[in-house]
Structure 1
Amino acid sequence: MRIYVAGPMTGIHEWNFPRFHAETARLRALGHVVIKPAEINPDTTLGWEMCMRADIQQLVTCEAICLLPGFENSKGARLERHIAMELGMQVMYAPEAS
């Protein structure tokens, strides 16, 4: 399955990339193809709107979205979740980091 990982980034240490990387590794180990903003937009100096446009282009190519803890506090992740739900994509939730 092709899965898009979404979660909070802005204002989080290292843009939350370590959590994105960990969830991506977990899902890839299960055999999924994983798309994540940390790979789409590695340049953290780009503006939010530019990053979201690139992210959404990739999101719509997926069958599912996996939401990281704290997604509800992220304007971008909430938007990605809304789009995924409206498109009938499967919505899954990443486990809390241990």
Structure 2
Amino acid sequence: MKTYIAGPMTGLPDYNRAAFFAAAAEITASGDIPLNTAFLPDGLSDADYMAISLTMLQCADAIYLPDGWRGSAGARAEYALAEKLGIEVLFQELKPE
């Protein structure tokens, strides 16, 4: 299964890449294929990032939404598209501290 990773990036240190790479490692360990936008280069416009991201999402079987995803306009748009296309939605489970 191909799983697209969504979540907040804009305004976070190193665009929150560490969290995206950690999610990708978990997805890979489960035997699935991560679709990870954290591999995209710096310097593109927000419109370019969203165009690439939405294309990747359309190739996915599932979308993974980590805790805090609702604070990201991009992740909310990705969630809405996934819902519209009938893509499976996977939410990160809150882990007790």
**Structure-1 separation of matches of 2:29 and 2:2:** 13
Structure 2 portions without partners, runs of 5+: none
Tell me what 1:36 maps to: 36
**What percentage of residue pairs aligned between the two structures are identical?**
32
Shift of 1:96: 4.7
* Alignment-mate amino acid for residue 22 of structure 2: A
Q: Which letter maps to 1:88?
A: G
Where does structure 1 differ by over 3 angstroms across 4 or more consecutive aligned residues? 95-98
How many residue pairs match? The answer is 96
Whether the aligned pair in 2 keeps the contact of 1:23 and 1:94 (CA below 8 Å) is no
1:83 to 36, 56, 81: 81
| TM-score, reference length from structure 2 | 0.92
Question: 1:23-45: CA deviations, max 9, x gaps?
Answer: 10011001001101112x2x222
Gaps of 5+ in 1: none
Could you tell me whether the CA contact under 8 Å between 1:72 and 1:78 is conserved in 2?
yes
Tell me the CA shift for residue 93 of structure 1: 1.2
| 2:14 match | 14
The two structures, once aligned, show a CA RMSD in angstroms of 1.4
